[in-house]
Amino acid sequence: MLSRFLLAARENAQSVVYGDGEQSRDFTYVENVVDATLRACEAPGVAGRVFNVGAGGRVTLNQVLGELERISQRSLQPRYDPPRSGDILHSQADISLAREVLGYVPEVGWEDGLRRTWEWFQTGYEK
């Protein structure tokens, strides 16, 4: 959904939100995932273990759209369609094991990650 929001903002198109936009997700920037992955590669005794990687917090879709509007300096007018059957309302990664075992701490917050991604969309994204 985030890539669709970014693309719509870039093209001055309308984003579609299924539901009221108050559903939340644990958005994290790719640099955080790379950091956790490299830590897992070097940590002793973690072979075969599973670690959740995320920011450890939830952000609503409406918050994302508001921040994207601020970052892009564009007026985003999303279209709210009925919720889709089976969509999860709230999702948040439990990163406590990654913190404990890998020393993982997400360094890039969701706002900064969204800004960096928007900047990339302006110069690096091709259809």
Asked if 25 contacts 57 with a C-beta cutoff of 8 angstroms, the reply is no
**82 pLDDT tier (thresholds 50, 70, 90):** very high
**63 pLDDT tier (thresholds 50, 70, 90):** very high
Domain residue ranges in the chain: 2-119
Number of H helices, E strands in the chain: 5, 4
The whole-number pLDDT of residue 127 equals 58
Q: Model's pTM, two decimal places?
A: 0.88
SS3 17: strand
* Superfamily holding 2-119: UDP-galactose 4-epimerase, domain 1 (3.90.25.10)
Give CA separation, 64 vs 21, 71, 125, in Å. Answer: 9, 10, 20
- Of the candidates 43, 54, 51, 50, which has an alpha carbon nearest to the alpha carbon of residue 105? 54
**56 pLDDT tier (thresholds 50, 70, 90):** confident
Cross-strand partners of 90? 24
